[in-house]
Amino acid sequence: MPYIFIRTGRYCFIPVILLLFASLHLSGQASSGQTVMQLVKSGDEKAAQADYYAASLYYKEALKKDDGNVELNYKFAEASRMFNDYEGAAAAYKKVVDLDKVNKYQLSLFWLAEMLRSSCTCKSDEAIKALRRFKNRYHPKDYYSAKAQQDIEACSWVLDHQKQTDSVKIEHLGKEVNTPNSEFNAMPVYPDKIQYSSLRNISDDKKDGKYLVRIYNQQPNPEKIYMPNGSNADLNIGNGAYTPDTKTLYFTQCEQKNKVANRCDIYVTHYENYKWSDAERLSINDASATNTQPAFGYDNEGKPVLFFASDRTGGEGGLDIWVSKINADHTYGAPVNAGKVINTQGNEITPFYDANDKVLYFSSDWHYGFGGYDIFKTKGAYGQWTNPVNLMQPINTAQNDLYYTGTLDDSRMYLTSNRKGSYFIEAETCCNDIYAYNTGKKVEHKIDTTSVVEVPTVQKDTAVTSNPVVPRDTATIAQAPPRQFVDVQVKKIKQLLPVELYFHNDEPECCNLRDTTALDYKETYEAYSAMHYQYKREFSKGLKGGDKTAAENQIDDLFGKEVDRGFYDLVAFSAQLLDIMKAGNKLEIIVKGYCSPLHLNDYNMKLGYRRVASLRNYFFHYRDGALLPYINSGALILKSESLGKETAPKTVSDKLEDKRNSVYNPAAALERRVEIVSVEVK
């Protein structure tokens, strides 16, 4: 039932629940008396109905009879993924990869990596290896190739941040709220009680039940289900959000378009004259898109706005966060996309605005995170937002973490997650439960909605920097870390040195005498990485047998152990560098550019500087300009030097007509590089 979160297709990562009651009785039906064809047909029918758990049971039974069937293994993997059985899906995709000798199921490696990431942060290294293999085999420039590259970087980020945990203690709300179905979207409405959404059987028929989303009251409220006046009892009703005075409720109603796709609209009801008004459909809804997860907040002038998630046209991709002004006469301004700092090619969902701290929280499956969806925070308004900050562990996990909300006094925060420890019927990560933690603070004063949020002016190609993560139960102002922390961080970043970054022949921007370039290293790396098979073909051309295999292996080592590894080292280096700069230090970095001996040295000197310039541009653009303020202020000094071809070994060919050795030979390729050679605290 993906309508509550995200649309189907490539974005369908977190269905609310797929374990319908009838599925529990399939083990008897899927008996050994049925043929493989019959079992697969039944599985296909269940998959078409979006009952992926039931489908997986049929496919699993069929695999007992035909374990080596690659198509059947792929169907089982897909069904397991769709009901969030990450570990089961990972094992199944691994089987497909091993069996698929002709690369028919090209996305298997991609999904294998995604399932490894979502299983455990401890599997980040395995995920990186799978993603590298996927990039080497998959050549279309589309969402999957972009997501694979993003996740490689995210895995490197995880390896560097997985031990940085918050001090909060996350509490599972237990059976008073949670069930083996899915519960989500906690709304604090009483001093210590919540309302929440859940997909459950609302009929008395336990065999052929009627499953719909409803808003539930935490007991001891005498009414178990809360139905807004005027809502449609045949639709799914959930994703509620109150205004701070609790006199206005926004919620969604979702209609089922077909067996696997749904569309939602946002409604509002007001408490007036001691009763709730009939629900009204908001004018901001787009009839051709999903409009969901409303959240009341304020803009930088203290005026009320409505945040929500939508996959309407004009966004960055998938579901985006949108904003609409709320006028005094209860009309709404045209929705505005929250912008590229927040929204990405992936999905940004479940916004929540904390008016006390003037912070917008949301979940994303694209920004650097621990796996699945992570919760982030940002400050600002409309197109002026600080860089999103990951709330870190234990708030975020390798699984999906969403619907971050809090009490009016900020004393208690809630979140939704399918992390291990949630209730389940089959796969332990199948379903969402509600969790909470105490912040250790309490805002006594009333929310001030009139003060202006100060948002620094953002220049082109520059992003507002954000503070490091500060636990909500500690200080409100980030203090500079002690000297010992700085020394440890500098020692850690030096262990990565030298960071070696490689280039294709005469790149970036070949055939000119400029000593600078507009490209950044990420762009040149991606273009170079895509040439893996061209190098393999050219370097092994004319060879046979063992010689051909040896040449191809050399190229695999060149790209896997040098080109790719260099870029991942750069990602890790940049993350550590930003942490050090945020601590208030002044650093000097020395970068050297090298060339192969293919051209005259004067030309190669310019080329070396272009290569260094591409790295400088990478630092300028890193995380939407997070390092740029430090560079502009002189706190981060980048020194560069081009050595041309003078250091290249004499054994490396300099003959243009001999491209096999002067261009495609790993010995020549290793000379075309930039090195970060030193980092010193000033």
Residue 171 lies in a domain: no
Question: Sign of the CA dihedral 176, 178, 183, 185?
Answer: positive
The C-alpha atoms of residue 110 and residue 365 are separated, in whole angstroms, by 15
Same-domain status, 548 and 643: yes
Q: Residue 275: CB partners within 8 Å, gap ≥ 6?
A: 229
CA distance 556 to 558: 5
Residues 6+ apart with CB under 8 A from 628: 461, 462, 463, 620
Tell me, letter by letter, the H, E, C secondary structure of 148-199.
HHHHHHHHHHHHHHCCCECCCCCEECHHHCCCCCEEEEEEECCCCCEEEEEE
User: To which residue do tokens 């009309």 refer?
Assistant: 331
Same domain as 495, residue 356: no
> Does 281 share its domain with 380?
yes
Residue 138 lies in a domain: no
In a domain, 418, yes or no: no
Does residue 108 lie in a domain region?
A: no
Q: Is residue 298 part of a domain?
A: yes
* Whether the Cβ atoms of residue 431 and residue 182 lie closer than 8 Å to each other: yes
Parent domain of 559: 483-681
Domain final residue pick, 376, 401, 426: 401
Instruction: Identify whether 508 is preceded by a cis peptide bond (ω within 30 of 0).
Output: yes
β-strands 171-172, 359-364 pairing: unpaired
Residues in the chain: 682
Judge whether 571 lies within some domain: yes
Residues 366 and 499 in one domain: no
**pLDDT for 651:** 57
Residue whose C-alpha is closest to residue 200's, from 216, 222, 187, 176? 216
Both 384 and 499 in one domain: the answer is no
pLDDT of residue 211: 83
| Sign of the alpha-carbon torsion through 375, 377, 383, 387 | negative
- Domain assignment present for residue 285? The answer is yes
In a domain, 309, yes or no: yes
Residue 579's contacts (CB-CB under 8 Å, 6 or more residues apart) are: 468, 489
Pairwise CA distance, residues 275 & 632, whole Å: 57
Residues 503 and 594 in one domain: yes
Supply the pLDDT for residue 155: 92
Q: Do residue 397 and residue 500 come from a single domain?
A: no
Q: How far apart are CA 574 and CA 160, in angstroms?
A: 11
Residue ranges in the chain modelled with pLDDT below 50: 1-31, 445, 447-485, 644-645, 648
Shared domain check, 382 and 516: no
- Name residues whose C-beta falls within 8 Å of residue 272's C-beta, 6 or more positions apart in sequence: 247
Q: List the beta bridge partners of residue 211.
A: 201
Distance CA 134, CA 128 (A): 10
List, in order, residues 6 or more apart from 565 with CB less than 8 Å away.
none
Does 391 share its domain with 531? no
- Amino acid 338 reads A
- Name the token pair of 563: 């080109």
The answer to pTM > 0.85 is no
Can you spell out the DSSP letters for 219-262?
Answer: TT-S-SEE--TT--TTSEEEEEEE-TTS-EEEEEEEEE-SSS-E
Q: Can you read off the two tokens belonging to residue 66?
A: 């035909």
Cα first-last separation, the chain: 56
Q: Which two tokens stand for residue 530?
A: 């895509």
Phi, psi of 271 (to 5 degrees): -90, 110
Among 98, 134, 130, smallest CA distance to 113 is for: 130
Last residue of a domain, one of 352, 377, 401: 401
Q: Is the dihedral of CA 559, 560, 564, 566 positive or negative?
A: negative
CB atoms within 10 A of CB 59: 29
- Counted domains in the chain: 2
Residue 113 is predicted with a pLDDT of 96
Residue with tokens 């975020």: 396
Backbone angles phi, psi at 146, to 5 degrees: -65, -40
CA distances from 407 to 141, 188, 196, 438, 491 (A): 44, 6, 14, 10, 42
Contacts of 170-175 spanning 24+ positions with Cβ under 8 A: 170/394, 170/395, 170/435, 170/436, 170/437, 171/435, 171/436, 171/437, 172/421, 172/422, 172/433, 172/435, 173/433, 173/434, 173/435, 173/436, 175/423
List the CATH number of the domain containing 256. Answer: 2.120.10
Structure tokens at 291: 């409009």
Looking at the structure, tell me whether residues 652 and 509 fall in a common domain. Answer: yes
User: How far apart are the C-alpha atoms of 385 and 629, rounded to whole Å?
Assistant: 15
> How far, in Å, CA of 14 to CA of 215, rounded?
19
Alpha carbons 634 and 456: distance in angstroms, whole number = 19
* Whether 263 and 382 share a structural domain: yes
Instruction: Give me the phi and psi of 420, to 5 degrees please.
Output: -65, 135
- Where a domain ends, among 368, 401, 434? 401
Find out whether the peptide bond into 481 is cis, omega within 30 degrees of 0: no
